[in-house]
Structure 1
Amino acid sequence: MTMGWISERSRDFTALYGRRVESWIGVEMALRDDVGDGSPQFSDPTVPCLQLLGLQACLDGGDVLTVGIYQDVDVFGLWPRPRAEARFQDASLFTGALRWRRLTELPTGRVEYVATFADTGVLAEASLRIDARPLLLIAGELMETWDDELRFCRLDESVLVFTDPTAALQAPWTTSRSDLVQIAEAPDERGPTGQTTSTARWPLSRGRRRHGRR
């Protein structure tokens, strides 16, 4: 995808600024398909995030933002779409290693800040602050190994959702987050010299910032 397309998708995220998130729904992907009794495992105390096929933010005014994944050659990125998708409204479509549910653990309220980040030519991450609580979306996947461990992979086929960005910073990623480049933010919190004036930042990575890409 071109940088123009990525910038357009970034604007779908930054358009959330000032809106109210009323609730979240999503389709959760199992961390492990079979834990010995034939049933999938959806949670693990060592995993500080949700692994989702996609999710929807239900907004004030009846609007919806759907966040899924797109593929660009051999990497995957976040794909926000400012509309509801029927498949995410029908819980009966998802069984086994997929389950539909209301994501009550995610923050609701006014969206106070949004920033988007690219890596390897895709929209890799989105960071939000909602009613003073952080929310970090990362394109990635938790890959189960032969010895039942989980590998934290970036730029992969699901949406990893963190409510504690410090946990994302400390996660044992198989590839570094250090090359993240900021694409857009709302509000634009730069001072007159181009320096950020706000101190309300969540730890994302030790990557670079690119201002002015809106």
Structure 2
Amino acid sequence: MSLETWTAERVQEFADLSGQTVKAWIGVEFALREDVPDAGPHVYHDPAVPCLQLWGLQAHLADNTRFGISNYQNDDHFGLHHPQEPDFDARLQNPDWWREPFQGTRWRELPELPTGRIEEATVLGDEGMVAEVHLLIGGRPLWLIAGELEETWEGTLEFHRLDESVLAFTDPADVERISWRPPRAGLATI
């Protein structure tokens, strides 16, 4: 299968979410900062960070199915996809797998993410990857971006795109205000 065909299949999986209804979200968060004392605690919230940084997340749909979202790697970049591996689903369904201290991850319900009918699902690509998925759910936006927060030597956090986490934003204006590395200039609807 060609990369173009594989990517087209991923885009269709997200497009097929239109019309579905999300009842709830669960996910596995990555800590925002990795440089913490051995005894922790890991930092998962910072008022200056307008998103969640996730290993993966899962929508529980009204038809009693689940739709997981994580990332995939292709050479130097990461993109978003809907994993089909049973192991992914099993890990997201098992909170005990992620209990602290587990390398700065935690499982939790994500009530801050929108629920309701998915009115729109738009997929944006960059560098041949599924870089972003923009959902409109019950009239509220949810923008998912393949990216990662990286801590600098000075202790600040930089937002990187096409990286190994799923960043979940509920306010598109926050996405636009961030100084991304690399910039979002290459994005196009796919």
The TM-score, its normalising length taken from structure 2, stands at 0.92
Are residues 1:121 and 2:128 paired? yes
Distance 1:35 1:133 in 2: 35
Distance 1:59 1:41 in 2: 30
Aligned to 2:52: 50
Distance 2:24 2:8 in 1: 26
Higher normalized helix content (fraction of residues): 2
Instruction: Give the total of aligned pairs.
Output: 183
2:160 partner letter: C
Where in structure 2 are the equivalents of 1:1-214 lying within 5 Å? 2-35=3-36, 38-81=40-83, 85-94=89-98, 95-96=100-101, 97-183=104-190
RMSD of aligned C-alpha atoms?
1.5
- 1:6-42 Cα offsets, whole Å, 9 max, x none, are 1110111111111100000000000013455731100
Distance 1:33 1:115 in 2: 32
Gaps of 5+ in 2: none
Sequence identity (%):
47
Give secondary structure in 1 for the equivalent of 2:12: helix
Distance 1:158 1:79 in 2: 12
Residue range with higher mean Cα deviation, 23-32 or 168-177: 168-177
1:153 partner letter: H
Give secondary structure in 2 for the equivalent of 1:12: helix
Deviation at 1:81, TM superposition (A): 3.6
Q: Is the 8 A contact 1:34 1:41 kept in 2?
A: no
Give secondary structure in 2 for the equivalent of 1:39: coil
Gaps of 5+ in 1: 184-214
Deviation at 1:162, TM superposition (A): 0.2
